[in-house]
A and B are shown apart, each in its own frame.
Chain A
Amino acid sequence: EVQLVESGEGLVQPGSSMKLSCVASGFTFSNYGMNWIRQAPKKGLEWIALIYYDSSSKYYADSVKGRFTISRDNSKNTLYLEMNSLRSEDTAMYYCATGSYFDYWGQGVMVTVSS
């Protein structure tokens, strides 16, 4: 059974940093690209980052480019999202999702940016 478990939830002040993790199991993690997707409260879904299976390519939404970094450790079956210079508009539920079609999703973690 495919499982994606995010962690790193929390409340932070504007301008600060935070790192999210997503631990994968039930499939060969190192064979698949991975994504981060977020959902602001009562809003729709927004794709924010993609990393290839071997970390050879990374892509970002303009809204996070230069502030967020996606990375992975295939030896630990773990996906990361390093978030810097956080803004109030980054407040959202953050999901990791697998592969080319967001085949599987984690349960999500809430990030709240507020003073």
Chain B
Amino acid sequence: DIMMTQSPLSVAVTPGESASISCRSSKSLLHSNGITYLSWYLQRPEKSPQLLIYQISNLASGVSDRFSGSGSGTDFTLKISKVETEDVGIYYCVQFLEVPLTFGSGTKLEIK
């Protein structure tokens, strides 16, 4: 199984500042078709998760452009610019390269 490792476990951010979350996979997520199957999700408190970014850097429909993704192969980063209170929650990365689909353990974002 592909292991997904996120860091940090939690991050506290002042509103208006930026935050970065790292995700590392135990195997390259680059498929032979040229697509890298890495997505990011936000689970706000007491809510269902929502898709933020797919294929490393593609913003999901309706998601603020304050969110951006980067990386390649096995190392990926989610950046949140100008953090707002509504960004509070747990962020997860997921690999879709092969089953079993696997999640990172999550990074909790809090507001200072």
Contact = CB atoms under 8 A, between A and B. Distances in A.
> Does A pair with B?
yes
Interface of A: 35, 44-47, 50, 59-62, 95, 100-108
B100 A45 contact: no
Given A46-B103, A47-B103, A59-B100, A102 B49 contact: yes
Interface residues of B, number: 21
Contacts of B106: 44-45
A44 B96 contact: no
A108 B48 contact: yes
A64 to B, nearest CB: 10
A101 B92 contact: no
Given A102-B94, A107-B48, A44 B103 contact: yes
- Interface majority SS (helix, strand, loop, mixed), chain A: loop
B101 interface: yes
Interface string B69-104: 000000000000000000000101010100111111
Given A102-B39, A102-B41, A102-B94, A47 B48 contact: no
A105 B103 contact: no
Interface in B40-57: 41, 43, 48-51, 54
A101 B102 CA distance: 12
A28 B103 CA distance: 27
B60 interface: yes
Contacts of A62: 100
For the complex of A and B, list the 3 residue pairs with the smallest distance between their C-beta atoms, beginning with the closest. Answer: A47-B101, A105-B48, A59-B99
A103 B103 contact: no
A4 B103 CA distance: 21
Given A102-B41, A103-B60, A50 B99 contact: yes
A101 B99 CA distance: 13
